[in-house]
Amino acid sequence: MGSRRDAHTGDRPTSVSLRRAGTRRPRQWRLRRVLWGFASSVAQVWADGEVGEPTIPISYTRTWGPIWLLRSKSTMLAGMGDAGDDGVLWTAVDAYLADHLIAKDDVLEAALRDSEAAELPPIQVTALQGKMLQMFARMVGARRILEVGTLGGYSTIWLARALPEGGRLVTLEAAAKHAAVARRNLERAGLMGIDGAPVELREGPALETLPQLVAEGVGPFDLIFLDADKEHNAEYLQWAMRLSREGTVIVTDNVVREGTVLNPASEDAVVRGTRRFFEAVAAEPRVSATAIQTVSGKKYDGFALLIVD
Ligand SMILES: C[S@@+](CC[C@H](N)C(=O)[O-])C[C@H]1O[C@@H](n2cnc3c(N)ncnc32)[C@H](O)[C@@H]1O
């Protein structure tokens, strides 16, 4: 019943034999063509968006677009490994968003340029993340900010610019080379090295400088950004609690690490440190916490957001 058979062979016609014979295509085959075309278009829009020059040639997305989409999706779902093509997409979207939302800023750009020239690792927050931190600080009306992990001072500049007159930011950095670059960047930004400048940079391992802050009675801080060695984030949380008041906001960066945080058997000290951090948060009755997964030019990661109750 149903399908016609070849008069000579008695075989059911395939879509290929039908096409050869110039016969109308079966509905299923046409539907597949339509879906493929649609997925190709979506892939092209994803690849190019409105971010200027196409990053992926049209011929590529026409042919491979649907497969590329599926691969992107599966990589995201798997949540691990190299971001591959997804990284290209996330970087392009970051560029698009930054283009619309972040004003050109010579001081921040110079900070990035000099950090790169000094061969600091390019592991600072993105511009969009820096602005998000700045907006967090503004939202809570932060007058005192603590940062653990300065690098070249890029996030420090974003955060310090949120401070009102008379506000203060203490940033902690272990590497002398990083601290030297950060000082120059912060001085150029007018945030350090002049009377009344708000930023103080303390050099040394944070597990030494944090107890000093407690001993000196510095704080409490209104916002604390944990962004140093992830191995010690659980310990940094304990010190951060001692430097907090009710309402202090604590932001901890890089807590997803391309999904590797899921692996309880990981030998990686950073993954183990991150898992210990979440265990410490879960066991801390004095905080409300959440965590957000992010994708960006910095791959697939995330940050934790805590409020001290
Ligand atoms: C991810 S980078 C900080 C990036 C910076 N917050 C930004 O977004 O511009 C981490 C920094 O923490 C520093 N660091 C590593 N271990 C540290 C420790 N035990 N104490 C203080 N700083 C440390 C590293 O030298 C590096 O400069």
Q: Tell whether 200 is covered by a domain.
A: yes
Q: Tell whether 44 is covered by a domain.
A: yes
How far from the centroid of its chain's Cα atoms is residue 75's Cα? 16
Q: Tell whether 275 is covered by a domain.
A: yes
Using the predicted structure, report yes or no on whether residue 68 has a pLDDT greater than 90.
no
Q: What is the DSSP string of 104-124?
A: --HHHHHHHHHHHHTT--S-S
The domain of 233 spans: 106-308
If you average pLDDT over residues 75-80, what whole number do you get?
A: 43
172 lines ligand 1 (CB under 6 A): yes
Where residue 180 sits, what CATH number does that domain have? 3.40.50.150
If you average pLDDT over residues 13-36, what whole number do you get?
A: 48
Q: Tell whether 237 is covered by a domain.
A: yes
The predicted structure's pLDDT at residue 296: 86
Same domain, 172 and 29: no
Q: Tell whether 94 is covered by a domain.
A: no
More confident residue, 64 or 194: 194
Give the residue, by CA position, lying nearest to ligand 1 atom 25. Answer: 175
The predicted structure's pLDDT at residue 86: 79
142 lines ligand 1 (CB under 6 A): no
151 lines ligand 1 (CB under 6 A): yes
Q: How confident is the model at residue 111 (pLDDT cuts 50, 70, 90)?
A: very high
182 Cβ contact partners less than 8 Å away, ≥ 6 residues apart: 150, 151, 152, 153, 156, 171, 173, 201
Per-residue pLDDT reduced to its tens digit, 84-104: 677 889 999 999 999 999 999
If you average pLDDT over residues 176-203, what whole number do you get?
A: 97
Residue 109 corresponds to which tokens in the numbers above?
């750009």
> How much is the pTM?
0.77
Give percent of the chain with pLDDT exceeding 70.
73
The predicted structure's pLDDT at residue 298: 73
If you average pLDDT over residues 260-283, what whole number do you get?
A: 98
If you average pLDDT over residues 220-229, what whole number do you get?
A: 98
Q: Tell whether 172 is covered by a domain.
A: yes
Q: How confident is the model at residue 83 (pLDDT cuts 50, 70, 90)?
A: low
83 lines ligand 1 (CB under 6 A): no
Q: How many domains does the chain have?
A: 2
DSSP state of 256: S
Q: Which ligand 1 atom is the nearest neighbour of the CA of 225? A: 6
The predicted structure's pLDDT at residue 297: 77
The predicted structure's pLDDT at residue 87: 85
Same domain, 73 and 168: no
206 lines ligand 1 (CB under 6 A): yes
Residue 240 corresponds to which tokens in the numbers above?
């951060």
Give percent of the chain with pLDDT exceeding 90.
70
Per-residue pLDDT reduced to its tens digit, 167-188: 999 999 999 999 999 999 999 9
Q: How far is the CA of 148 from the centre of ligand 1 (A)?
A: 7
Q: Tell whether 221 is covered by a domain.
A: yes
Same domain, 55 and 178: no
Same domain, 56 and 117: no
The predicted structure's pLDDT at residue 76: 43
More confident residue, 24 or 37: 37
Same domain, 140 and 286: yes
Using the predicted structure, report yes or no on whether residue 45 has a pLDDT greater than 50.
no
Number of Cβ within 10 Å of residue 238's Cβ equals 12
Question: Of the residues 39, 58, 78, which one is the last residue of a structural domain?
Answer: 78
Same domain, 181 and 290: yes
Same domain, 32 and 118: no
Same domain, 207 and 260: yes
Question: Of the residues 59, 78, 97, which one is the last residue of a structural domain?
Answer: 78
Question: Of the residues 63, 78, 93, which one is the last residue of a structural domain?
Answer: 78
More confident residue, 61 or 237: 237
Same domain, 154 and 285: yes
Using the predicted structure, report yes or no on whether residue 13 has a pLDDT greater than 50.
no
Same domain, 181 and 133: yes
Q: Which of 114, 123, 148, 257, when mutated, tests ligand 1's pocket best, judged by the most ligand atoms within 8 Å of its CB?
A: 123
Least confident of 29-33, 115-119, 276-280: 29-33
Per-residue pLDDT reduced to its tens digit, 112-166: 999 999 999 999 999 999 999 999 999 999 999 999 999 999 999 999 999 999 9
Same domain, 162 and 297: yes
In the predicted model, what is the mean pLDDT of the chain? 83
Burial class (CB in 10 A: 0-12, 13-18, 19+), 167: middle
Q: Tell whether 101 is covered by a domain.
A: no
**Alpha helices, DSSP H, located in the chain:** 15-20, 27-48, 58-78, 84-101, 106-117, 127-139, 154-160, 176-188, 206-216, 233-242, 269-282
210 Cβ contact partners less than 8 Å away, ≥ 6 residues apart: 148, 172, 236, 239, 243
Residue with tokens 């602005």: 131
Q: Which ligand 1 atom is the nearest neighbour of the CA of 152? A: 9
Same domain, 33 and 180: no
